[in-house]
Structure 1
Amino acid sequence: MRLLILGGTEFVGRAVTEAALARDWEVTVFHRGRHEPPAGARTLIGDRTAPAPEGLAALADGEWDLVVDTWSSAPSAVRDAARLLADRVGRYVYVSSRSVYAWPPAAGLAEDGPLVDGDPDAGEVPYAQAKRGGELAALDAFGPDRTLFVRAGLIIGPYENIGRLPWWLGRIARGGPVLAPGPRTLPLQYVDVRDLAEWTLDAAGAGLSGPYNLISPPGHTTMGELLDACVRATGSDAELRWTDPETLLAAGVEPWSDLPVWIPPGELYDAIHAADVSKALAAGLRCRPAAETVADTWAWLESIGGSAPQRPDRPPVGLSPEREAALLSDRRPAGSG
């Protein structure tokens, strides 16, 4: 298979690139040259945010069986690339997001749920509208039979540049009392970036089209299992001090951002951790154990000196040590429930 990756040097794109190279596919990576792509990939340098046609000039020639695009900003950038490639690429795979569903997406929402409005010609717009606009841009150029939308949820694993799992690993590695958001048995739903990559290549190779919620089954792991795995992976003396959601919320702790991954039961939890993924499972999605994801992410962090890269367009996550210490001094135990 001849694969073109738009991006391919950081998180999701890198995982797709590595998975394709492991299959002995012919991989071309189109990127801005800011990061080194995986060894074995052919490189094309360009900047899709630059004015046309200069920004995409490196893509003026060449044919590929499929293109994978992880773009999450202006839909017009997807539009321009898709139009340029429509006659020279067999299939367009757009890594989208479950954020395209109209708010609030109910627990158990499948791919036929209501969607936000999107404009394929839009410039900079909010994330949900950007991803939906990107879907529409790919659809306009390639049609419904040649487009595959990977609607991912929470993505974690090696090379994560958002900082969610890396923050937990770094915090737990420091040891001592750790503010752990309860309940300990809270089910979580996410996808390891490598599982996303493997499924995406399998699905594209099989000629699948349309949208797929791409995330683990609800309850693939729990908050307790995830943090316990962090303790084991780092080998630290961290003591998880479980604290009930009411205490944390009353103290002004922001779910998802102050304590990454964690969301207490409610509307936001249903939106993030309770998606219907039966369609992807039927199409072959396999999710590795949480302990493997955690251990591999820690091994990667250690290999780069312990500090994860941070996307410049996303704010840092996690509580400061000072705020965590203040919260620990005034917490109410959540128990094990």
Structure 2
Amino acid sequence: MTHALVIGGTRFIGRHTVDELLAHDYDVTIFNRGTHDNPFADDERVEHIEGDRTDDTDLQTASLAARPDVVIDCVAYKPAEVERAVEVFSDVDAYVYVSSGDAYGREEIPKREGETPLRPCSSEQADDESSETYGNRKAEGDRVVAAAAENGVDAMSVRPCIVYGPHDYTERLDYWLDRVDNYDRVVVPGDGQNLWHRAYVEDVASALRVVAEEGSPGEAYNVGDRRLVTLEELLTLAADAMDTNVEVVHAGERELAAGGLEPSSFVLYREYPHVLDTNELASLGWESTPLAEAMARTVAEHRRSDRDGVEHDPGRDAEERVLGVLETF
């Protein structure tokens, strides 16, 4: 039986990756600091090694203790962390680095592996921890993976776009789900046709497994829903899953200004479309979950949770002012 080590493994992508591996008969060990609740604490199939992946001794200890065939690295946020990982796990059958669609450095539709340039990464950016340099750091990690593969390491990258689904601690989609679940009218910036490619988390997990099994060293693979939907269509999917109706109200910059808002005040809004080509991943045999099914699972878990996306909330009072202005037109 193949033994997988998941670096991370308890919160979102890592949690679903562990489930995916278990469903395909892997032995699984998770390696993390133990600072978050472990959903596998009572699962005898999952071993847990506590340690800090940024500590070289801890990482080496995890490698010697687990002796994995496959490593899925969910929490490498700096290039130096990837450099150390490909060194420590140089002999495994597959090292899969979770990168990001934000690694791409050019706005084009779609963004393709090996064609669309990656972001640059300066030495200052490589050691930064701010959200502004996230894509730069992920891009440099991709370059580390490619260089390691040239030196004989079976290392690959997976680049998800915006990830959604059960147990999403970012609460980005939870904001919109809460709006649909509690209000008849929901303000959407622009004409509702904003397009930001999203990836269902269980599909990201299956992509990581498929790439580990079938991917080519040095390659990167985009992952996202095979069928894209606009922001307005996303809310319609959510309403269908909730067995309710919602009126999507479009608001331009002038109308939004009445509430002191702008398009960027709304989470998951992006002025220029962000679309990833997922054909390379599909060629390995990967498939994505039908959108209605993915949304139904997401909604069901959202309703069981206490997440409401409040940190992304532009303020319902502000939205009501916008709605009032629109009613006068």
Instruction: Identify the TM-score tier after normalising by the shorter chain.
Output: 0.7 to 0.9
**2:98 aligned to which of 95, 99, 106:** 95
Task: Tell me how far 1:330 sits from its aligned partner.
Answer: 2.1
Secondary structure in 1 matching 2:140: helix
**In structure 2, what is the equivalent of residue 82 of structure 1?**
86
What amino acid maps onto 1:116 in structure 2?
R
Secondary structure in 1 matching 2:312: coil
Task: Tell me how far 1:198 sits from its aligned partner.
Answer: 1.1
**Aligned residue pair count:** 316
Deviations 1:104-160 (A, max 9, x none): 331123112212224799422510121122223444445466111111111111111
TM-score (norm 2): 0.84
**In structure 1, what is the equivalent of residue 107 of structure 2?**
105
Task: Tell me how far 1:13 sits from its aligned partner.
Answer: 0.9
Change (3 A) 1:320 1:95: same
**In structure 1, what is the equivalent of residue 223 of structure 2?**
214
Task: Tell me how far 1:193 sits from its aligned partner.
Answer: 0.9
Q: Is the 8 A contact 2:185 2:247 kept in 1?
A: yes
Q: How does 1:105-184 map to 2 (within 5 A)?
A: 105-112=107-114, 113-118=116-121, 122-125=126-129, 126-141=133-148, 143=151, 146-184=154-192
**In structure 1, what is the equivalent of residue 31 of structure 2?**
30
Unaligned stretches of 5+ residues in structure 2: none
Q: How does 1:219-258 map to 2 (within 5 A)?
A: 220-236=228-244, 238-244=246-252, 247-248=255-256, 252-255=261-264, 258=265
Change (3 A) 1:144 1:300: farther
Secondary structure in 1 matching 2:56: coil
Distance in 2 (alpha carbons) for counterparts of 1:162 and 1:333: 36
Change (3 A) 1:148 1:316: farther
Distance in 1 (alpha carbons) for counterparts of 2:312 and 2:22: 32
Task: Tell me how far 1:79 sits from its aligned partner.
Answer: 2.2
Distance in 2 (alpha carbons) for counterparts of 1:303 and 1:332: 35
Distance in 2 (alpha carbons) for counterparts of 1:192 and 1:237: 23
**1:325 aligned to which of 314, 320, 326:** 320
What amino acid maps onto 2:32 in structure 1?
H
CA RMSD of aligned residues (A): 3.0
**In structure 1, what is the equivalent of residue 49 of structure 2?**
44
Task: Tell me how far 1:203 sits from its aligned partner.
Answer: 2.4
**After alignment, is 139-148 or 241-250 more displaced?**
241-250
Task: Tell me how far 1:94 sits from its aligned partner.
Answer: 0.6
What amino acid maps onto 2:108 in structure 1?
A
Deviations 1:208-257 (A, max 9, x none): 3301121234x5223332101222333456433233577548964243xx
**In structure 1, what is the equivalent of residue 287 of structure 2?**
286
Q: Is the 8 A contact 2:199 2:223 kept in 1?
A: yes
Deviations 1:64-88 (A, max 9, x none): 121011225222222223322223x
Change (3 A) 1:134 1:120: farther
**In structure 2, what is the equivalent of residue 4 of structure 1?**
5
Distance in 2 (alpha carbons) for counterparts of 1:24 and 1:243: 50
Q: Calculate percent identity across the aligned residue pairs.
A: 26
What amino acid maps onto 2:307 in structure 1?
S
Secondary structure in 2 matching 1:155: strand
Secondary structure in 2 matching 1:64: coil
TM-score (norm 1): 0.82
Q: How does 1:60-71 map to 2 (within 5 A)?
A: 60-71=64-75
